[in-house]
Amino acid sequence: MAETTNGVIEVDLPIIYRDRSNPAKFYEAVWGRVFNGKRDTERRPYAVVQASNAAHVKAAVELAGRENCRVSVRSGGHSWAGWSVRDGAVLIDLGDLQGIGYDEETQIVSCSPSVIGRKLNAFLAEKGRLFAGGHCPDVGLGGFLLQGGMGWNCKNWGWACESIVGIDVVTADARELHCSKAENSDLFWAARGSGPGFAAVATRFHLMTRPLTSMFNCIYVYPISEYRKVLQWVVDLCPTADPDTEIVCVSRYAPGSDEIQITAGFTTWKPSRADAEISLKSIHDSRPSHAVVELFCDPTSLDKEYTQQAAANPQGHRYCSENAFVANDADVPAVLEAAFTTLPTKKSFALYFAMNPTSRRPLPDMALSMHSDHYFALYTVWKDPADDARCTGWVYDVLRDVERHAIGSYLGDADFQHRRTKFWSEESGKKLMEVRRKWDPEGRICGYLDVDDKSGVAGLRNEFEW
């Protein structure tokens, strides 16, 4: 930093301009940290700021104001649609803004948005604590928390954004503020569920943690011919299952095979194996017959689970993801049958994530306001660009049928360019767009990447396309 003659502090920005830089270096700055290999390279930012402190963020927003540019933000680069890459915008990449702090008295951890779940929980493990962040190890906490955070054992412990007690931001007019229930409370309300439409740039989160205990898995793998029986079993278990147990159902191709299998997985957090066996026994005893693999109360760990999640979401591939909150009264196995039984590639998978009982309790007063007992998501994965149309077409063909039985969708696994749906309740959706207009009346922060990137200050319409 340097002080000018008139007393104004100038920041030496680590910036790469589109029209002044080596094209290869600029491309790497724009796309190098974007997880999805399927990229719309026609979107070309004005510049990339590789921020390593809040002063860089503030200066980048001020630069965008002077140049009459919008601002986009990247925490981990894991959004499937590449939301951080916006044509003509100043892209603030927070990858170099790293920092974790812990208060022993309050057991609150503070961290920068680019910190990934694996790194945060490795730090917290030394304190005997845990933060229920994302399942994929390399997801940045910033985007994950802003969109709500469907983290570990969300069905019982609640949404990750419910653990936010404070957030430090740089506003669209370049002010540095702290937001909480007591300060700038409407921005704090919006931060918990606004996703990429948050009307400020988050620079630090302050999060409640929980005790770290041992982890155990029950895993049951079946041929896809048992699909309806297995998924209905999982759906029926959810309301009364142990409150420390996460429940998922996944269909994917068996390794080295042309056969799709369906897996029911149960992960529980307990002090000892004896406690875990008690909580998992009723699940084991009620399991359907004809499993090809059975694993009861197998010890695991966050690090082991992160490694398996990374293998299921390989780097250097092309992705299309979509999702729906299926209505509570739907015939879930019937609604999801095509998705679970007709996967288009060997690496693709369909996911059912149980949300009951979290879905049945009143949510805190926050933007996040859309959920049901049944979360469903497709993760379509392929390598060859020639398969783009086939794979994306399959995803949206499936969703056209599923969404007729859905109440809405989750921001994190969505792409606003291809599908219009509901993400919030009517009241919360309206309030969120009002908060956006209040804090960013000029549309400095890019917001939601819809068709042709036109949503601007207005935000999303929060309605079904049909």
Cβ atoms 212, 129 nearer than 8 A: yes
Q: How many residues appear in the chain?
A: 466
Per-residue pLDDT at 4: 40
User: Which DSSP category does 70 fall into?
Assistant: -
Segments of the chain scoring below 70 in pLDDT: 1-10
Structural domain contains residue 441 = no
Report pLDDT digits (tens) over 261-320.
999 999 999 999 999 999 999 999 999 999 999 999 999 999 999 999 999 999 999 999
d(CA 312, CA 303): 14
Q: What is the CATH number of the domain that holds 141?
A: 3.30.465.10
CB 306 within 8 A of CB 360: no
How many other CB atoms are found less than 10 A from the CB of residue 329? Answer: 9
Cross-strand bridge partners of residue 374: 326, 354
Helix (H/G/I), strand (E/B), else coil: 339? helix
**Residue 168 within any structural domain of the chain:** yes
Looking at the fold, whether 64 and 112 belong to one and the same domain comes out as no
C-beta separation of 195 from 412 below 8 A? yes
Query: Does one domain contain both 108 and 243?
Result: no
Domain that residue 34 falls in: 2-93
Q: Kindly state whether residues 242 and 357 are assigned to the same domain.
A: yes
Q: Around 356, how many Cα atoms within 13 Å sit in the side-chain half-sphere?
A: 16
Residue 10 has a pLDDT of 56
Residue 88 lies in a domain: yes
For residue 236, what are the CA distances in angstroms to 19, 216, 231, 252, 287?
Answer: 58, 21, 9, 22, 11
Q: Do 266 and 394 sit in the same domain of this protein?
A: yes
Q: How many CB atoms lie within 10 A of CB 66?
A: 7
What is the share, in percent, of the chain residues with pLDDT greater than 70? 98
For the stretch 379-415, pLDDT in tens is: 999 999 999 999 999 999 999 999 999 999 999 999 9
450 within domain boundaries: no
Looking at the fold, whether 251 and 269 belong to one and the same domain comes out as yes
Give strand ranges (E) for 147-259.
164-171, 176-179, 200-208, 210-211, 214-223, 245-253
- Residue 448 maps to a domain: no
Separation of alpha carbons 368 and 376, rounded Å:
17
The answer to whether residues 228 and 320 belong to one domain is: yes
Specify the CATH number for the domain of residue 337.
3.40.462.20
If asked whether residues 85 and 139 sit together in one domain, one would say: no
Same domain, yes or no: 262 and 129: no
Q: Are residues 76 and 113 in the same domain?
A: no
Measured distance CA(151)–CA(210) in Å, rounded:
13
139 inside domain:
yes
Both structure tokens of 203: 């620079």
Domain count within the chain: 3
For residue 296 the two structure tokens come to 């009861």
